[in-house]
């Protein structure tokens, strides 16, 4: 049996769970207390961060690698856009921008009191530059790469969700209406609601 060490509200764990569920990979999910991490998890992944997948002895402890592994098992709706080489370039660029630049700015925005070097609004503006770009990307389609879901949509979703939730009232009145609609559509999807059940 495959085992996923997870933490329900961790954005990296969320996207791993979504990919595994979509791919139909049977997995036993172990909810990890970050203050009391299980010895079995630390034995196979000493860095101690979630998610960690033990796939029949093969250990994968990076969320994006878990997602790609799941899609290699089964990708029924072609989230990888296999027949479109240009799509892979765009997908990788979106995910890299999210995981490097957006995530860093988001941490500063969410926990601005820990980063007094700049006012919170500066960190929010850094996030907004990427939010604005995503909103433009959604100008002609419902999803980031077209009219159907891709790996990029699922990889970015938990982080855009976090960004929106720092100040929901502020986010609701921004001009990013396409990004708001994209976020709402994904948050209401069966795929997302199913992986967030307690």
Domain assignment of residue 33, yes or no = yes
Query: 182 and 101, same structural domain?
Result: yes
In the chain the beta strands, taken as DSSP E runs, fall at: 2-6, 27-31, 52-55, 58-60
Domain assignment of residue 6, yes or no = yes
The CATH number linked to 39 is 3.40.30.10
Domain assignment of residue 144, yes or no = yes
Query: 169 and 96, same structural domain?
Result: yes
User: Residue 77 phi/psi, 5° resolution?
Assistant: -105, 15
Query: 180 and 162, same structural domain?
Result: yes
Query: 7 and 30, same structural domain?
Result: yes
Query: 69 and 114, same structural domain?
Result: no
Domain assignment of residue 123, yes or no = yes
Per-residue pLDDT tens digits for 50-85:
999 999 999 999 999 999 999 999 999 999 999 998
* End-of-domain residue from the set 76, 101, 131: 76
Domain assignment of residue 188, yes or no = yes
Task: Kindly state the tokens that stand for 74.
Answer: 């089964």
pLDDT reported for residue 63 = 98
What's the total number of domains in the chain? 2
Per-residue pLDDT tens digits for 152-171:
999 999 999 999 999 999 99
Alpha helices, H only, 11-150: 11-23, 39-44, 63-73, 85-97, 103-110, 120-137
Please state the pTM of the whole predicted model: 0.96
- HSE-CB for 119 with a 13 A CA cutoff: 3
Given pLDDT bands bounded at 50, 70 and 90, which one contains residue 1?
Answer: confident
Query: 134 and 189, same structural domain?
Result: yes
Q: Which domain holds residue 133?
A: 85-193
Across the range 176-190, mean pLDDT stands at 98
Residue 72: partners with Cβ closer than 8 Å, 6 or more residues away? none
Across the range 168-197, mean pLDDT stands at 98
Domain assignment of residue 198, yes or no = no
Domain assignment of residue 155, yes or no = yes
DSSP 113: G
């Amino acid at each position: 049996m495959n085992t996923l060490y997870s933490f329900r509200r961790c954005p990296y764990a969320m996207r791993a769970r979504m990919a595994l569920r979509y791919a139909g990979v049977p997995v036993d999910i172990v909810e990890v207390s970050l203050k009391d991490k299980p010895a079995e998890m630390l034995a196979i992944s000493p860095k101690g961060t979630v998610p960690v997948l033990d796939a029949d002895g093969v250990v994968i402890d990076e969320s994006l690698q878990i997602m790609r592994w799941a899609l290699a098992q089964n990708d029924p709706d072609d989230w990888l856009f296999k027949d479109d080489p240009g799509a892979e370039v765009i997908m990788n660029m979106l995910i890299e921008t999210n995981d490097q630049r957006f995530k860093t700015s988001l941490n500063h925005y969410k926990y601005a009191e820990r980063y007094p070097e700049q006012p919170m609004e500066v960190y929010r503006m850094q996030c907004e530059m990427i939010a604005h770009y995503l909103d433009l990307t959604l100008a002609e389609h419902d999803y980031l790469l077209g009219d159907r879901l891709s790996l990029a949509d699922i990889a970015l979703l938990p982080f855009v969700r976090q960004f929106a939730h720092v100040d929901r009232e502020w986010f609701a009145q921004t001009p990013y209406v396409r990004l708001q609609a994209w976020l709402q559509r994904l948050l209401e999807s069966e795929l997302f609601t199913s992986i967030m059940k307690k």
